[in-house]
A and B are shown apart, each in its own frame.
Chain A
Amino acid sequence: MAEQESIVPVAAIVCFLLGVTTLILLNRSKNRIWMDKLAGLMLGWCLIFFGLRYAAATIQETGWVDIMYANESSDLGVFQYLYYSFTIAAFAILALFPLVYPYPVLQKESSIKLVGPITFVLGLVIVITMMLTDYKYNTFWQVLTIPCFIISIPVYFRFLSEEMVNNDETARRMSLAAGIILVAFFGSQMTWWLAQLISINDEFIGRFAIEEGVKSHSYLPNLIGDTVVNTLGSISILCLVAGETWRANKKGVSSFTIVIFLILLVGIISGIADIAVLDIVESCMVTECETFPASYAIWYKFTTEALLLLFTPLMVMYILLHFDVIDTEAENNQWMTRIIVILMLLIVSSTMIELLQSFLPVSQMVSSAILAMVVAIFIGWEERIMSSLIGEGESVSKKLKSLGELHETNISDEELQIFSKLMGVLTTIIIILCWLYSSIVR
């Protein structure tokens, strides 16, 4: 069996590329409703921050940091600081995103203008606080995902009910958008839903804490963060399963229904696998930490890790294109949209093939042939893929407008672009702070 390669570098490329393209396409999209424009900006910058986060992790993994800073006494190098800081910046955006999309809770002009500054201040305050506390509470800020659950669940059920009870076909786009956002936010936690339901995730949290050396960690806030996000993820998938089952009974099975049931199945298998390895998990406390079996690691790489690192950016791309957040009809946007869609799909497919090759005895010749087949399928079905992504695209904002539930503001593009400017400043501050602080505490 070949050595398992990390998919973090691929995630870095996918996220950064998609983020930059989103901002370019958004800049070219004229006459967008403020909600779409702001949501696009937030998603674009969130992807860029995630891309930078994974890039920092990739540089850490290569090991040349140790060569560069051989005499460093601190465990936290500049790239470790950057990794944490860009993650926090991304989560600051994610905390406010549900207030804007798919159902904007903030609709007054004054509050919309505050989204950028609040994200900036929130991100900066958490980055500095975490830096000064040596990232002891580095999983606590997962509680920033709470607004997503509180807003997206009512939106999902409201519009699903309207589709089912009132037979309003256009309501589906709202429940679908809310559902995809829930999967994008809590995807990895959803794959542990059974383990969380029977409350064995705490055993894993305990193991990882002991493995990483609990001495310098302050646990309680981190444990609260872990518990909250795992619970919200578990309940989210169960809600989506209930909702999609109801819908499938009346309207038939959709692609999203299949995705939800796949995640449910992954959660069941993962839960059983987790029970099977409990002795290994507890070994850290009773004897010494035993390593997990290779098959267990492979399973998590193909499910939780792949969902988080590879499929979440694809889900974001789906939201951007399918719900018309960016203007895909504009002539100067079409070619770029096509390129980025095919590129994203190819990168993810080829990574999955490479991952398969790392543990299946498949020769390089066969994997190359499979990759060629995938390329041929994507080229051949390019029209079909694009039309399924864009052709059926219906704007969430238009639906809300038709319901009279979206406030029309006079907010200009320039005023919305302040968000981009602030995020650019935040990026610069983060890089300078991380470089400066890491060199001081070295």
Chain B
Amino acid sequence: MNSRLKESVRNALDLVHLELGARLREEKVTALMILLAAGLTLVLSFFIEGRFMSYKEAADVSDALMEMTLSFLALIMFFLVPPLSAEAIAGERRSGSLDMVRVSLITPTGYVVKKTLSILMVCVFLIILCLPAMSVGFFLVGFQGLELWRVPIILLFFAGNFSAIGLGVSSLSKSPVYAIIMSYILILIIWGVTPLLFHLLLIGSGKSDVATFLIESAYFPLKIIFTWPRHYFSDWHLWAAQLAYLSMTSAVFFFIAIMGLRRADRVGHGLVSFCCTTA
């Protein structure tokens, strides 16, 4: 029994490993990796040039460096993960390889987990790429009042959320293009609703600066990506609440993805097409 379990785990890991290998060879992934590396080099060169030395406090320098690195990383993830996940099932359906996977012994749940893990592994790879840039700031000036370990965790949850939304929509769509458009629309809706929700939770708590930030975010969700939201990492309540919200929405979309795969023979792109047009 034990050896059978080991063999199953080994097989599952092999699937993720092979899929990840294939993904890393995709041109768009390579292009974004190069872009990320170029961005990080730019950040580091600014730092080395002493551009941040005009800041008065060491914490400001570390913040500025962190903001640039993470905003860039989040931006790359924003443009990488939804297309990767939205294309994952719809693309395979269109090319015909989905049928070959469906007749194999992989279950719909296993398939969704495999896809998610391979996408998340790409994100882990991206985060690892950013570590040198983050470490420079950390070792030279430190991050005051900031729990650094929370950063990669929330980034992975964001990536997981993107993946779940992408896979959920993808499992219901025949067209990868529709799936990508719909994923972005849903991400904007969900990320717009999240800050509003937190605003409602935080009213009366005395944290007016956080509430203001979140209200702004509600009207402009992309600000989360473009602005370094220190609050997420310094206030653990906010951090945990954000993780919970992301987990909840991700679970819903993972469930949709699994159900979509189970009923893969009934899928058409009519609904998704209608939603895109309406939106």
Specify whether A and B are partners. no
Query: Which A residues have a C-beta under 8 Å from some C-beta of B?
Result: none
